Amino acid sequence: MSSTWVSQVIYPTTTERVTERVRYLRRPLEATLTGAIRSYFNAPEPLETQTQVTLACLRAIGYPQFLILSQTLARSPNVLKQDIGMFIPVLLVNMFGAENVETYRNSETNKASTRSNTWRDLHWVSRYTPHKVKKIKK
């Protein structure tokens, strides 16, 4: 099975179903994640190599806060991780426009194609879906 980068214009993540599912994350996480996204994309690396924004966002939350959120929001850790993973492309599209955001997807099914986490400090994350931003809107 091969995977490719697919524009959010062609195959959007920001469906009504997804937006409704992750709505509960706006108040506790939007500011933290937006800040993490901006910091991540302000790094000196070229945008095309910056595909681990999801991991940067999870790092910004941190494991202790993640566990607190899981209890406070009455979500299992696995469900909360999935929901955060869906919330990130929603924020990316809001920040940079669907035309500038791409998601790594299976070429045959268009389902998100995950990669193994290689960031050692994120021991609590095994897989993530890569996203990339082609152009930063000012």
Predicted confidence (pLDDT) per residue in 9-63, tens digit: 999 988 999 999 999 999 999 999 999 999 999 988 888 889 999 999 999 999 9
pTM: 0.94
Q: Is residue 84 situated within a structural domain?
A: yes
Q: What is the pLDDT of residues 126-137, one digit of tens each?
A: 999 999 999 887
Q: How far is CA 86 from CA 12, 54, 83, in A?
A: 11, 10, 5
pLDDT of amino acid 45: 86
Q: Burial letters for 15-27: b for 16+ Cβ neighbours within 10 Å, e otherwise?
A: eeebeebbeebee
Structure tokens at 20: 């409704």
Q: Is residue 138 situated within a structural domain?
A: no
Q: For the residues 97-124, what does the mean pLDDT come to?
A: 95
Domain that holds residue 123: 3-133
Q: Which of 102, 101, 104, 103 is nearest to 136 (CA)?
A: 101
Structure tokens at 68: 């607190």
pLDDT of amino acid 23: 97
Q: Is residue 117 situated within a structural domain?
A: yes
Structure tokens at 12: 């959007």
pLDDT of amino acid 60: 98
Q: Is residue 37 situated within a structural domain?
A: yes
Number of domains composing the chain: 1
Q: Which of 9, 123, 110 is nearest to 55 (CA)?
A: 123
- 73 φ, ψ (degrees, to nearest 5): -90, 0
Q: What is the pLDDT of residues 83-99, one digit of tens each?
A: 999 999 999 999 999 99
